[in-house]
């Protein structure tokens, strides 16, 4: 219960990253979310290999069964992949879909896996264990694993940077370097270029920055809300006046459950939004006679607004 009371005192402390190895000059060499990301990467690779094996078409000797994905989990991943490819990406970037899908699928599942891992209270279990086995770790706010990687703006920034590189490289590949640079003029008359070009260049930074901040802010806000509500639960049930504290505790418990399910939804939603907007930004850097180009502009403006 003391842990819960700590949460109630400062919920932000619960959701921020925890250091594990710190250099002499104060730089965090290794922190809890880095272990999370290593775990997520390993899981993605192993699960990916398993899913690939399950989704791949079987031998001809299996008859019609060769077309069936045998594992339900693999089938779920297959459905998600198919939906993202055919219903989200292909309508926007058309023929470039197959080339871009490996990156887009990876970024979607990387963010999703990190979001979902963040919903597992590993840091709390870690703190409970550390409290009994290594109290000095708890005292120094150190943790080997736990937290939410996508709650760190450095992590989301790295993902945004990768997205920016891919978006612009895809633009250069599609339009050619000259076409890409011409795109920065937005087709405006030459005397407007001194205004338009800096705005367009800012746009190339703002777009991935928007991806970065959106993911970071959504994950952080949701986790802080859950931590605050858990704090209410703790303070409610430990209140000296049970007539006052008990209803608060019960209501907060129900609120935590509800918000937790919302967080589960947001974990999927934010992964999807990141991937979706990356696709939109990729589609913006295409030939202006493309059918869906104007639609992509409208979507991008709506999300950036």
Partner 1 sequence: MNRFASFTVFAALAFVSTASSVAVAAAEANPIAKPNEGFAAGVTALVLFTIVCAILSVAVWPKIVKGLDERNEKIKGEIAAAEDARKQAKEALNEYEKNLADARAQAQQMLEETKATQNELAAQLKSKAETELNEMREKAKADIESAKKQALDELYSQSVNLATVMAGKILQREVSVNDEQRLMEESLAELKTVNS
Footprint on this chain of partner 1 (rule: CB under 8 A): 16-17, 19, 25-31, 33-34, 37-38, 40-41, 44-45, 48-49, 51-53, 55-57, 67, 69, 78, 81-82, 85, 98, 101-103, 105-107, 110, 149, 152-155, 157-159, 161-162, 177-178, 181, 184, 197-198, 201-202, 204-206, 209, 220
Q: Where are the alpha helices (DSSP H) in the chain?
A: 2-9, 11-15, 32-55, 72-83, 90-93, 97-119, 122-133, 135-139, 153-183, 193-237, 242-284, 293-304
Tell the smallest beta-carbon distance from residue 152 to partner 1 (Å): 5
Tell the smallest beta-carbon distance from residue 231 to partner 1 (Å): 20
Residue with tokens 């019960």: 250
Q: How far is CA 43 from CA 110, 117, 125, 146, 300, in A?
A: 10, 11, 20, 15, 32
For residues 205 and 258, which CB has a smaller minimum distance to partner 1 in the complex? 205
How many Å apart are CA 198 and CA 208, to the nearest integer?
16
For residues 48 and 255, which CB has a smaller minimum distance to partner 1 in the complex? 48
For residues 31 and 296, which CB has a smaller minimum distance to partner 1 in the complex? 31
Tell the smallest beta-carbon distance from residue 98 to partner 1 (Å): 7
For residues 216 and 232, which CB has a smaller minimum distance to partner 1 in the complex? 216
Q: Where are the alpha helices (DSSP H) in 146-241?
A: 153-183, 193-237
Tell the smallest beta-carbon distance from residue 96 to partner 1 (Å): 14
For residues 139 and 181, which CB has a smaller minimum distance to partner 1 in the complex? 181
Q: How many other β-carbons are positioned within 10 Å of the β-carbon of residue 256?
A: 20
Residue with tokens 């919302």: 262
Per the structure block, which two tokens stand in for 58?
């079987």
Tell the smallest beta-carbon distance from residue 235 to partner 1 (Å): 26
For residues 137 and 256, which CB has a smaller minimum distance to partner 1 in the complex? 137
Q: How far is CA 105 from CA 204, 275, 276, in A?
A: 22, 8, 11
Tell the smallest beta-carbon distance from residue 45 to partner 1 (Å): 5
The torsion angles phi and psi of 142, rounded to 5 degrees, stand at: -100, 145
């Amino acid at each position: 219960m003391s842990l819960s009371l700590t949460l109630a005192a400062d919920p932000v402390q619960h959701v921020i990253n925890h250091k594990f190895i710190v250099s002499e000059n104060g730089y965090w060499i290794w922190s809890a979310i880095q272990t999370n990301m290593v775990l997520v990467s390993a899981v993605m690779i192993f699960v990916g290999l398993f899913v690939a094996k399950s989704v791949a078409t079987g031998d001809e000797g299996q008859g019609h069964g060769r077309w069936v994905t045998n594992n339900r989990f693999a089938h779920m991943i297959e459905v998600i992949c198919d939906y993202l490819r055919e219903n989200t990406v292909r309508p926007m970037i058309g023929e470039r879909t197959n080339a871009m899908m490996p990156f887009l699928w990876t970024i979607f599942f990387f963010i999703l896996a990190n979001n979902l891992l963040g919903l597992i209270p590993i840091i709390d279990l870690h703190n409970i264990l550390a409290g009994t086995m290594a109290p000095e770790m708890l005292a120094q706010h150190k943790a080997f694993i736990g937290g939410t990687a996508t709650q760190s703006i450095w992590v989301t920034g790295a993902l945004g940077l990768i997205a920016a590189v891919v978006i612009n490289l895809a633009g250069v590949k599609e339009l050619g370097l000259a076409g890409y640079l011409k795109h920065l003029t937005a087709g405006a008359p030459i005397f407007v270029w001194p205004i338009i070009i800096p705005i367009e260049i800012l746009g190339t930074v703002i777009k991935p920055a928007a991806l970065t901040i959106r993911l970071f802010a959504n994950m952080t806000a949701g986790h802080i809300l859950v931590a605050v509500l858990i704090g209410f639960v703790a303070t409610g049930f430990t209140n000296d006046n049970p007539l006052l504290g008990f209803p608060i505790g019960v209501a907060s418990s129900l609120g935590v459950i509800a918000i937790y399910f919302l967080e589960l939804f947001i974990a999927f939603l934010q992964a999807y939004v990141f991937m979706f907007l990356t696709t939109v930004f990729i589609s913006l850097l295409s030939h202006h006679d493309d059918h869906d180009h104007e639609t992509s502009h409208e979507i991008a403006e709506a999300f950036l607004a």
